[in-house]
Every structure is written in C-alpha cells, then in structure tokens.
C-alpha cells in the first residue's frame, strides 16, 4: 500500500473469535466503504467474526451536521 493510513478515509477493526487466543482485533484502513467487502471475503472465515467497528479515519477540512447535509 503506497498511501499512508492517515490518508485513507475509513478504519475498520474486525474482531475474530479464536479458541486459543480469545478475541483477535485486526485493523484495516481503506478508502471506499465497499472495500470492506473484499477485506471480509479475504478471510479468515466470516463465520469467525464477532464484530466489525467502522469509523471515519479522515476528517474533512470543514465541519457539518446531519441536518446541514440534508439541506
């Protein structure tokens, strides 16, 4: 990956279940939300996923609200 993690729009932490290690958190950074599909499909098996937490990793240079974006 040539881009820095801070340059990518989204951060996802995929938590997998493991018998030996308990829960394992794997952090991923990506630009388009649809890229999360490929991350999950690459494995491990999606049936081992406990949860996926997705957060915005890159903030815009301006601030807005849900109400303002609907106008």
Number of domains forming the structure of the chain = 1
Q: What is the pLDDT of residue 34?
A: 97
Give dist(CA 46, CA 37) in Å, integer: 11
Q: Is residue 26 part of a domain?
A: yes
- Using 50, 70 and 90 to split pLDDT, how confident is the model at 6? low
Q: Is residue 54 part of a domain?
A: yes
Sheet with 49-56, strands from edge to edge, namely 22-30, 10-18, 49-56
* Residue span of the structural domain in which 19 resides: 5-59
Q: How many CA atoms lie within 13 A of 26 on its CB side?
A: 14
Q: Is residue 64 part of a domain?
A: no
pLDDT digit string, tens, across residues 12-54? 999 999 999 999 999 999 999 999 999 999 988 999 999 999 9
Among 25, 27, 34, smallest CA distance to 57 is for 27
């Amino acid at each position: 990956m040539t881009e820095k993690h801070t340059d990518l729009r989204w951060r996802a932490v995929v938590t997998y279940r493991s018998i030996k290690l308990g829960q394992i958190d794997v952090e991923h950074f990506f630009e388009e939300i649809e890229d999360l599909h490929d991350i999950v499909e690459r494995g491990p098996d999606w049936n081992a996923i406990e949860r996926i937490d997705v957060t915005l990793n890159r903030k815009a240079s301006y601030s807005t609200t849900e109400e303002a974006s609907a106008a």
